[in-house]
Amino acid sequence: MKYDIINVYCDESCHLENEECKTMVIACIRCPEAKVKDITNDILAIKKKHKIWKYAEIKWTKVSKSRQDFYIELLEYFFRNPNIRFRAIVVPNKRKLDHPAYKQDHNTFYYKTIYNLVDYFLHYEKSYNIYVDKKETSFNAKKQIKITRDFLQAHCSKPIKIQNITSYKSELMQLNDFIQGAVCFYNRGLHEETTNVAKKAIIDVILSKNIKLDKTFNNPKFNILIWRSMKKWIYLL
């Protein structure tokens, strides 16, 4: 079936410039707008099955032994559902970013990453609703969002909309948080030393699907780009 409107939910892990973690991940989940309600209801049904409050947020930081079965079933649901796709850009060491050389700050780099994250899969004849997890509401952030939208719009004949939302309002945004959290966890090397058996089990499930988490992996269902060079960024804000 052909779907003309696609929803995209973007979020980040460890994106702050000066925090201890050097790995940064920007990721998105996308699905047809017409399927959002069905997917949301499916996720709520999984919550209900595992006796989890329907308003409880799905987050990688909440993965624990007591909720291991819930998160593994949620992950398997993602892999089963052909309408949901995931893409992530992994920056292995954000401390090596030379922002002055490219006349930008870290916030501008973040929106460039959003652009490259989404631009990869744009289809000229489709319309897109892009939702970005709310980081800030400053004038500069709004300006960056508008510029990013304008550059993306150049690649589509139908409208592209971008807006900030808070994650608790969207089960799909939360699902993205969970999966990208696993990607970040693996690329930080924490899977090798963790005592959290649930997180280790989730990583094992992903790897059992023949997915590469620390290498560029060109798969339409679970796509990973490992960032290597500033030269890859093709537009300036």
pLDDT digits (tens, 9 = 90+) for 30-42: 999 999 999 999 9
What is the pLDDT, as a whole number, of residue 136? Answer: 61
Q: How confident is the model at residue 76 (pLDDT cuts 50, 70, 90)?
A: very high
Specify whether the CB–CB gap between 138 and 172 falls below 8 A: no
Does the pLDDT value for residue 89 go beyond 90?
A: yes
Distance of CA 233 to the CA centre of its chain: 18
What is the average per-residue pLDDT within 5-12?
A: 93
- For the ranges 22-26, 131-135, 216-220, the lowest mean pLDDT is seen at 131-135
**CA 11 to CA 132: how far, in whole Å?**
6
Helix (H, G, I), strand (E, B) or coil at 10: strand
Domain extents for the chain?
5-232
Residue 228 confidence (pLDDT):
74
Residue with the two structure tokens 């939360």? 174
Distance CA 215, CA 224 (A): 7
The CATH H-level superfamily of 5-232 is Ribonuclease H-like superfamily/Ribonuclease H (3.30.420.10)
Residue 165 Cα to chain centre, angstroms: 14
Q: What is the pLDDT of residue 20?
A: 67
pLDDT at position 233, please?
Answer: 47
Q: In angstroms, what CA-CA distances link 195 with 20, 82, 201?
A: 20, 33, 11
First to last CA, the chain: 37
110 — pLDDT class (breaks 50, 70, 90): confident
Question: Which of 14-18, 103-107, 184-188 has the weakest average pLDDT?
Answer: 14-18
Tokens of 195: 């005592």
pLDDT digits (tens, 9 = 90+) for 134-193: 666 666 777 888 888 888 998 899 999 998 888 888 999 999 999 999 999 999 999 888
